[in-house]
Structure 1
Amino acid sequence: MASAEPSLEQMVAELWDREQIRQCLVRYCRGVDRFDRALILSAFHPDCLDEHGKFVGTPEEFVEWALGQHGAAHLSHQHCLLNQTVEIEGDTAHSETYFMFVCMNRKGKPLTLGGGRYVDRLDKRDGEWRIAARVTLRDWSMMDEIPDMDDLTSFTSTRAILPEPVKAFMNAGRGPARDTSDPSYDRPLTVDPSRRDGYLEMMAKTEKV
């Protein structure tokens, strides 16, 4: 028996949800590029965990880390959103959004260019969609040599000077895969809280070096 076609009201409601999810991602990118802390935080639920390469933490912690990194390394930058898939089930959505970032550097090569995916679980709370869990994946970067795809530090611009504890921490995390083991297939998407504990331990070690 064929399933009933969704009503016009249902289709419009889903389109509105999808647009609100897209706008959430747009707010995030604009906030990072403009160093607008409030705008970045508006894209996340406060209890979100973001696994973001060598960083894992809360939205408040992410803002301090990300703006500190960009401010120290770059004169300007853009985060551009590309393909997006969204699966909505009730008040939970899973989104995979391709991104490309371009940075004008303070030192070394003038330009850094790379791309990856924001893999998000979003929750609709009090009528508002925000990110509840995120895994940020790097898929490519402009490089002078072929990278080791099993080494997640290969895509970082600072890979040559990363301390060993940082490299070990990054390579213990989630990376991209060309099969269904990729984090974008996780249902529900979660970030293991022990990864944040490991991040804090790693930071304590590197601060002593």
Structure 2
Amino acid sequence: MSVEDELTELRSELRYVRDRLAVLDCVMNHARGHDRHDEELMASAYHQDGTDEHGPVVKPGPVYGAYANEAHASVFADHLHNITTHTCEINGDVAHCESYVIGAMRARDGKDVHLIGGRYLDRLERRNGQWRIALRRCTVEWTSRGDTALLTSGAFTGFIQGSWDREDPSYARPLSLAETPVQRW
């Protein structure tokens, strides 16, 4: 293999790795936006003409965050969307992804946590150098419910408690032990 051929191959591989990371970052940023109720971050995951389908609800992607925040806040005290298995097929400027998601949603009364397992089926497109969601479809595969009494038992006294806004410690820059205000259990 010539040096020129090797460089061409390396450039191609590097482009794939960069694209793959950008696609995964988009999916992860959407999940983070969900859990911080950060509408701006969620909207940034979609193209302006992107679409989100969650069951019977189909919304333009950029406004999905406002809808989701209101819907989640009406029944949950907090939640975490955990992206696990993630596969991605990239063909030029289009990527098709399947991301497994486990949502842990604590009921507003604080007594139960609901676990929901499903998948995000995404088509992302690179436009103007940016990978964003063009279409997201959501499946639900299973659910489970558990007791959250351990949270208020004293076992987690002193642990940081997250918040649904930009006051959450994850936004602090620089993150500081002494200067980053937190809520605690």
TM-score for the superposition, normalised by structure 2: 0.71
By how many angstroms is 1:103 displaced? 0.8
Please tell me whether residue 58 in structure 1 is matched to residue 66 in structure 2.
no
Please tell me whether residue 19 in structure 1 is matched to residue 21 in structure 2.
yes
8 Å CA contact 2:113–2:145 kept in 1: the answer is no
Gaps of 5+ in 2: 147-185
Which is strand-richer, 1 or 2?
2
By how many angstroms is 1:104 displaced? 0.8
By how many angstroms is 1:72 displaced? 1.1
Q: CA 1:30–1:108 in 2, change beyond 3 Å: closer, same or farther? A: closer
Q: Distance in 1 between the 2:120 and 2:45 partners?
A: 13
Q: For each residue in 1:58-99, what CA deviation from the matched residue of structure 2 results, as whole angstroms up to 9, or x when unmatched?
A: 024322220001111111110000111111111011011111
8 Å CA contact 2:52–2:60 kept in 1: the answer is yes
8 Å CA contact 2:94–2:125 kept in 1: the answer is yes
* Corresponding residue number in structure 2 for 1:37: 39
- Pairwise mapping of residues 1-209 of structure 1 onto structure 2 (< 5 A)? 7-107=9-109, 110-142=112-144
By how many angstroms is 1:106 displaced? 0.9
Task: Select between 4-13 and 88-97 the one with higher mean Cα deviation.
Answer: 4-13
8 Å CA contact 2:112–2:145 kept in 1: the answer is no
Which is helix-richer, 1 or 2?
1
Tell me which stretches of 4 or more aligned residues in structure 1 moved more than 2 Å: none
TM-score for the superposition, normalised by structure 1: 0.63
* Larger-Rg structure: 2
8 Å CA contact 2:114–2:145 kept in 1: the answer is no
Aligned-residue CA RMSD (Å)? 2.0
By how many angstroms is 1:51 displaced? 1.2
Q: CA 1:104–1:143 in 2, change beyond 3 Å: closer, same or farther? A: closer
What is the DSSP-based 3-state SS (H/G/I as helix, E as strand, rest coil) of the residue aligned with 1:103? strand
Query: What is the identity, as a one-letter code, of the residue corresponding to 1:89?
Result: N
Q: Distance in 1 between the 2:78 and 2:145 partners?
A: 20
Report percent identity of matched pairs.
37
Q: Distance in 1 between the 2:138 and 2:44 partners?
A: 18
Gaps of 5+ in 1: 145-209
* Corresponding residue number in structure 2 for 1:192: none
Query: What is the identity, as a one-letter code, of the residue corresponding to 1:29?
Result: A
Q: Give the aligned length.
A: 141
8 Å CA contact 2:52–2:59 kept in 1: the answer is yes
Query: What is the identity, as a one-letter code, of the residue corresponding to 2:14?
Result: V
